[in-house]
Amino acid sequence: MSDTAVVPTKEVPLNETALIPKPARVPLKGLPPTAFQHPLDRQATENLKKIKGFDWLVGKFIEYGFERIDYITHIGSGIRIGPRQMAMHYAMLRECCDVLDVAEPELYVMEGGVNAYTSGHNHPFIILETGLLELMEDDEVMAVIALIARTEETSVRVQRSSTLE
């Protein structure tokens, strides 16, 4: 027999443990979308805006080209996140939009790798793939949602990918 004694441990309920309080988030009201653009992207965007009618032409091409098909594909094969479905992620989206002072886009989850992106010109939406949700902690997922919610505010919204693989 061993000389060491087994000391029983007492389990402490989760509601009695000391949790680290979440820091208060500072609203970024009035922050322009260009603040998140790389200087070369900002310069290219400004040069394209100088071409008369270019924004309108590209917007119509996207709208009548792949935007409708892309949207139907995503709403048909993804899960729309809302207050009754994946409510925690919906709360993350709402908090991000409140802090960043942007309109709330639709948010979908689709089967896939470690990826998140936005699509749509007239009807922007965000897609989170399942690999990203499985791999990342909640704060990391919220950072991805915030990044993509903010970048979807920039001029022409073409499918921007934030692949993390």
Within a domain: 149? yes
| Per-residue pLDDT reduced to its tens digit, 67-116 | 888 888 888 899 999 999 999 999 999 999 988 888 899 999 999 999 99
What pTM, to 2 d.p., does this model score? 0.69
CA 54 to chain CA centroid, Å, is: 28
Within a domain: 1? no
Within a domain: 143? yes
| Type and span of the H or E element at 61 | helix 54-62
| Per-residue pLDDT reduced to its tens digit, 104-161 | 999 999 999 999 998 887 788 999 999 999 999 999 999 999 888 876 554 344 344 4
CA 23 to chain CA centroid, Å, is: 20
CATH code of residue 118? 3.30.2010.10
Within a domain: 31? no
Q: Is the pLDDT of residue 17 over 90?
A: no
Within a domain: 123? yes
Residues with Cβ within 8 Å of 54's Cβ and at least 6 positions away in sequence, in order, are 48
pLDDT at 161: 43
pLDDT at 83: 94
* CA separation for the pair 50, 74 (Å, rounded): 33
Rounding to the nearest 10 degrees, give the CA dihedral for residues 134, 137, 141, 146.
180
User: Tokens 């322009």 appear where?
Assistant: 32
Looking at residue 101, the DSSP 8-state letter turns out to be: T
Within a domain: 136? yes
Q: Which domain holds residue 130?
A: 37-161
pLDDT at 159: 41
Mean pLDDT of the chain: 80
Within a domain: 115? yes
Within a domain: 52? yes
Q: In the chain, what is the straight-line distance between the N-terminal and C-terminal CA atoms, in Å?
A: 52
Task: Provide the number of structural domains found in the chain.
Answer: 1
pLDDT at 16: 53
